[in-house]
């Protein structure tokens, strides 16, 4: 009877110990999510007063190409308020992205090994920078070319007057497409380091990857050749960059493994030398 009570109490203790770490992880996740929401709300509170100015700045690449006397329009009653409101909210999330990713990193970092931490942090930082570079590329390079092309192809007698909410949805889609597309080097490096594929295999399939880049450009961008090409070419070039760095990292890993193997091979010899030295000391002490 006592043995049964001891076993049952032991199982209850083990289950309690398992529940405590799980609950602590949930509490930590909740706290980090609340911090993210708080930071986004604070940034939004600062941006909302300038929401109309932000929208005007975002619409500039289209406004400069509209015909004289033409302008953007709002076809829904609440669009003049809701569209800048949506832009300020999305801009707040984009601006808080480094903090959001840092919170995600801080949550998973305790479960990573040291070598994983050394590799994961630079990849995380690079992914943030590349996402912002992709958005900047879309705004300063793609938008002027695309809107100049689209407004110039309007048939005679058709006045180009774009709805403000449709325009916002259009540019946010392009921002997201180019931001994700510029993550190609990170994806390439992770695939190679995870052992899913090798740099040589990817290099051998370069022709298929180029075709896939143009297919992705066709699916993620408007139906015009300019934007499709401007998305596909950077994806290809960034793939080559990721291929180069993945080879460098794999070479460094192989060198580290070789050094570790040499250390392991020398360890038994060192232990043997220590044992011989201790035995000699014992022998000398006995003679004395």
For the residues 131-153, what does the mean pLDDT come to? 87
Tokens of 207: 């022709």
What DSSP state is assigned to residue 123?
A: H
pLDDT in tens, 162-172: 899 999 998 99
Is residue 14 predicted with pLDDT exceeding 50? no
**The residue count for the chain:** 288
- 142-146, 225-229, 272-276, 278-282: the lowest-pLDDT one: 272-276
Q: Given this model, what pLDDT does residue 25 score?
A: 75
Q: Given this model, what pLDDT does residue 17 score?
A: 47
pTM of the full predicted structure?
A: 0.73
- How far apart (Å, rounded) are the C-alpha atoms in residues 172 and 169? 5
- How far apart (Å, rounded) are the C-alpha atoms in residues 100 and 97? 5
Q: Given this model, what pLDDT does residue 276 score?
A: 64
Query: 213: number of CA atoms within 13 Å, CB side?
Result: 24
For the residues 42-61, what does the mean pLDDT come to? 93
**Residues contacting 88, CB < 8 A, separation 6+:** 44, 47, 48, 50, 51, 54
- How far apart (Å, rounded) are the C-alpha atoms in residues 16 and 80? 55
Q: Does 57 or 113 have the greater pLDDT score?
A: 57
Query: 288: number of CA atoms within 13 Å, CB side?
Result: 6
CA angle 241, 245, 246 (to 5 degrees): 110
Range ranked top by mean pLDDT from 145-159, 232-246, 268-282: 232-246
Range ranked top by mean pLDDT from 46-55, 104-113, 155-164: 46-55
Is residue 209 predicted with pLDDT exceeding 50? yes
- How far apart (Å, rounded) are the C-alpha atoms in residues 288 and 95? 77
**Residues contacting 163, CB < 8 A, separation 6+:** 72, 73, 74, 75, 79
For the residues 76-99, what does the mean pLDDT come to? 91
């Amino acid at each position: 009877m006592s043995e049964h009570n001891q076993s049952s109490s032991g199982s209850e203790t083990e289950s309690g110990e398992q529940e405590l770490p799980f609950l602590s992880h949930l509490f930590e996740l909740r706290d980090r999510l609340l911090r993210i929401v708080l930071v986004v709300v604070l940034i939004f509170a600062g941006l909302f007063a300038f929401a109309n100015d932000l929208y005007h700045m975002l619409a500039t690449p289209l406004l400069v190409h509209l015909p004289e006397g033409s302008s953007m329009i709002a076809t829904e009653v609440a669009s003049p308020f809701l569209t800048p409101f949506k832009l300020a909210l999305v801009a707040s999330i984009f601006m808080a992205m480094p903090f959001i990713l840092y919170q995600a990193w801080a949550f998973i970092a305790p479960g990573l090994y040291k070598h994983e931490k050394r590799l994961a942090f630079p990849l995380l930082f690079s992914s943030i920078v590349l996402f912002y570079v992709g958005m900047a590329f879309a705004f300063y390079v793609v938008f002027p070319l695309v809107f100049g092309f689209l407004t110039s192809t309007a048939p005679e007698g058709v006045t180009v007057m774009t709805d403000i909410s449709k325009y916002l949805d259009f540019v946010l889609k392009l921002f997201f497409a180019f931001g994700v597309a510029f993550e190609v080097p990170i994806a390439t490096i992770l695939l190679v380091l995870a052992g899913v594929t090798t740099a040589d295999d990817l290099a051998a399939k370069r022709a298929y990857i180029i075709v896939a880049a143009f297919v992705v450009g066709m699916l993620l961008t408007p139906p015009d050749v300019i934007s499709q090409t401007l998305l596909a070419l950077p994806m290809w070039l960034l793939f080559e960059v990721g291929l180069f760095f993945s080879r460098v990292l794999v070479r460094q890993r192989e060198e580290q493994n070789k050094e570790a193997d040499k250390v392991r091979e020398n360890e038994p010899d060192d232990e043997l030398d220590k044992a011989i030295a201790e035995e000699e000391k014992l022998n000398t002490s006995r003679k004395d």
